Amino acid sequence: MKNLLEQANSLSILLLLLSSIIYYFHLRKEKRRRKLTLFEMTMYIVTMVAYSLFAITTFILFLDRM
């Protein structure tokens, strides 16, 4: 049961990551076409920060396992 829950958690993280990547690219495309609204600009910045934090923490955890 624990293994199934861990797999479901990993799948949800993967789906959230993929959907946020798609949304980020959508916002980047819209930014080229027109000025983003305040909410869109906020989401654009939040997703950039989230990607950076995810990459940094994943890298630190990887180094910690070595």
Could you list the pLDDT tens digit for every one of the 66 residues in the chain? 778 888 888 888 888 889 999 999 999 999 999 999 999 999 999 988 888 888 888 888 888 888
Q: Are the C-beta atoms of residues 51 and 27 closer than 8 Å to each other?
A: no
In the Cβ-directed half-sphere of 34, how many Cα atoms lie within 13 Å?
5
**Closest C-alpha among 12, 52, 10, 43 to residue 25:** 43
Q: Is the pTM of this model over 0.75?
A: no
